[in-house]
Structure 1
Amino acid sequence: MSVPEMDLFRFLKLISVYIVAALVVSTLNSVESRIYIHFDQTPLPFSRFSTAIFGYSVKRLDGSNACAKHSCLIYCELDGKALESCPVGVIALRNLTENRKHQFLVNVTTRNGETNSSAFSWFIDTTPPTATISSDQNYTNAEKITIEITFTEACTREGAFFKCLNSSNCDVIARGPGHIHASSLRVIEPKIKYRLDVILSLKTLHGRVMINTKDRFCIDLAGNRFTRTNSSILVIHLDRRPVLADLWTSVPSYELGINGVPRTVFAINKINEIKIFLDFSIPVVNSTEQIINLAHVNSGEIVSIRDRNHGNRRFVFAVRDLFPTLQSF
């Protein structure tokens, strides 16, 4: 045999090996694809239960049972960890970790070496949806304020969702001298964030309007019903009364006998720092610095004394640097 004939022989031999290998791979793929795993029962993609029941069957392409007479080897995993027992057909998984994603995997091998696997993922959610009601004006004398309702998650299962059609059919309720303006509803973020106007009564000078959501009016994807919390309640303080202020200073009193008669005398010789008190009839939102900027003295300087302001109703100041001025008299 010549050299070229030898090369041709080797080439044909290599080609035959490749063809046989390709046929073997094709056969293996064909074997693997002859069965499939069907989940007959699964939890919902979002579930509020810590127990999950899976029902599964192994079928051939013609629909027949591929594991008749328990002729299959079944291997199962939960969240990447092998399970000790994996029965045929049905398995119950209990005491699963809540509020996290899980994955259940089934791998089946038949007596003939046919194999396939299938996995199912779901999320266990036991946290009920809630909402926060907020406003930029918790204290106001306005005729109207805007509130914002923000949900922690979408609450739309079974067709229930946040709505405000009119004053008698609204999932937000106002109690006190005010009412919800239903037609002002604006969707800021679908299923999550909404805005509404609250109309405050012009006949009321002073009062509180309590705004809160209804309870259990909608359900999330996992089946948890909406729960009202402290954040679902907002109190608006309405106050249109005029603010009165009383400016005074504390001067010590002394008991003196004048012509044998006891008298009470108010006097002070401390002129380096005199305390001044400013009492408001109702709480104010002004800062101490703003109040100082509005106060004027013909001598000395007003400074703030860091003290409790009694709920923004009393402010304490001191007048300093009076002595040089008094010396000129």
Structure 2
Amino acid sequence: MRRETALAVGAAGVVLIAVVAAVLAPGALADPTEERPVRPGPVDITEMEISAGEVTGDTVALNVETRLSHRGPPARNVTVRVQAVDAESGLVETTRTATVGDLTEEREVAVPTTLTVEREGGYRIRAVVYRDGQRVDSGARELRGLDALQPPYARSAVQFAEADALPPVAFSVVGGDPDRTVLALQMALTNTGDEQPEDLRVTVTLRQADSNIVANRTSVPVGSIRPGRTETVETRLSVPTDYNYYIDVVLWKDGVVIDSARGAANLDPSETISVNETRRDVELRVSDFTRGDGAEGDRPVPEETGMPTAGGGPGFGVGVALVALVAAALLARRKSQ
């Protein structure tokens, strides 16, 4: 009985100690797996998709979709920061932060953001993922040539033709007189789209090659050009003879420049110019390009005779007379000796 009593007393003591421990230290006997800290699952960037949104004359909206992949245990308080960094200067142009929240399932999630930047140059689009304020992943993509994006008001499928056998600007001489030459100008336009735009016009400007003075200009309405077709717009202009000219043509739609081209008209037989260069300078007579009422610019210039004059009158001048007097004095002195 003593042994059984000792065992009973011992068991009672163990129970008493367990009860006291449970009261004084709650959770001491709990399952340790329930209190073990759980490491959050990884969150990675799998892809960045960038598309152009609204385009204006100065800016473009970039729609950036960052795709995140989550695996394992839940990830709390996930955010994505997206920046546009200038490719040349390295300066941050704009920043947007998107809140994702908690990721509890193993899946991919798309996070959209919009960055508005200047419509010029290039940018590096950078995305950084944070989990509970801690940076866990990052990615970047580069964009170039944003200036090629056109706002809706400047878009048109009609443009000047570009082919070796069909230059955008051509001309021919159709008449004139010794002072002025009449040029017949042809501008080839191609509709590369699927629509038939209206309200198009072409302005033609003839500039003297050496001075850039406008010799003549006009505006020509463009008729209907069917999709996929090429049409020619024609007009005639007169310019002073014996000069070379640049032919600048501009295509307009509702007051907006759509396209432009340049040609060259060589009317001076002593020189030749191309669209991009001039071979030599020639003398310019501004009066040929003015249309006045006989003012100062129209007065005739006296021709040079090639003989020296004094005071604008004929003769040998003072210098020659002095030389003659000295020669005569020396001759008289020699005879007297």
- Could you tell me the TM-score, scaled by structure 2's length? 0.27
> Higher relative contact order by CA 8 Å / sep ≥ 6: 1 or 2?
1
Structure with larger Rg: 2
